Amino acid sequence: MNTENTHESRPARRLPIRPRRLRTTAAMRSLVAETTVSAKHLILPAFVRSGQNGPQEIGTLPGQYRHSLDSVRRLAAQCAEAGIGGIDLFGIPLPEEKDACGSPARDPQGILNRAIAAVREEVGDALVVCADTCLDEFTDHGHCGVTDENGVVDNDKTVALYAEMAVSQAQAGAHMVSPSGMMDGQVAAIREALDENGFTDVSVMAYSAKYASAFFGPFREAVDCCLKGDRKTYQQDPANRREGIREALLDIAEGADIVMVKPASHYLDVVCELAGQSPISVAAYQVSGEYSMVEAAAQRGWIDRERAVRESLTAITRAGADIILTYWALEYAQTMQA
């Protein structure tokens, strides 16, 4: 018996339901895609360093730079032109400018406030100009707040400084401030200070569920962090999901406009659960370690870089994030969104 090519004449099975019909072409797959990553929902974190003459690539964040005031202006203009949603600015003072209470963070002539003013002057309202509202880059001990005689961060004294910092950022032109120190009551204090100083329209994006993660390593080099020890007494334990939801709900009650989960990719369960409960927008921060792992593997030819970037952003969006902070924001908008 000749069995050659008998499979070609075999009648098709009677399957009324064939999910593969909707995967036949790229156009079909695009038509039925359940999740779309939009550039307008992305925020680019950007670093500005005091005394910088131009952009300098960050070794642990290939393709990312410490900027001067001039180069961050150009970066912001590119972001606005590309149509991404916002830029989140981090200031890096000179080592000799740092002190125990992070006073350069509140100085109108400090590097972060000067960067906010420069970027706002450059882009106006075409881009949401956000500022990191935390002291870790500005303290000589590297913690996110002032410490007591035992080296423990004093929650309430730190919150008072955050409120001052947020007002100085609003005065510099920030559309949005972003407290990232995980201090109890920080959102309420910042909201009250902004309102009392006439900045009722300035938004607060709260780092609500920020975990004491191993994936922050490259960021700490980027901002010249001088931390000794860890931040486990104020950032969350990676083992806790419910605690993250509780923190976010507290921030919502205190007046946050957006709540955030950080990191993103390894905490998608938290993102998903928070998205199901939150009445306000949920952001997720795809942190430096998540970015650098993909870049390092791609450089070695172990993964398809562009596919990995797309897939990671899609996964975060699919989990329920309305906004993603990602170092790929500008590149995605310029080359990958189509």
Catalytic residue numbers read 210, 262
Dihedral angle sign, alpha carbons of residues 283, 286, 288, 289: positive
Q: Structure tokens of 57? A: 């690539």
Residue with tokens 């000589």: 140
Q: How far apart are CA 41 and CA 221, in angstroms?
A: 27
Residue type, 147: T
Helix (H) or strand (E) holding 131: strand 128-133
Give the dihedral sign, CA 330/331/335/338: negative
**Distance, CA of 11 to CA of 78 (rounded, Å):** 57
Tokens of 177: 């401030």
Cα–Cα dist 212/232, whole Å: 6
Closest Cα partner for 166 from 233, 297, 87, 256?
256
Residues in CB range of 56: below 8 A, 6 or more apart: 49, 65, 66
List, in order, residues 6 or more apart from 48 with CB less than 8 Å away: 66, 67, 68, 69, 72, 89, 90, 91, 92, 111, 112, 115
Cβ count near 40 (within 10 Å): 13
Q: What is the b/e burial string over 179-215, where b = at least 16 CB atoms within 10 angstroms of the residue's CB?
A: bbbbbeebbbbbbebbeeeebeebbbbbbbbbbebeb
- CA pair distance 129, 334, nearest whole angstrom: 19
- In eight-state DSSP terms, residue 100 is T
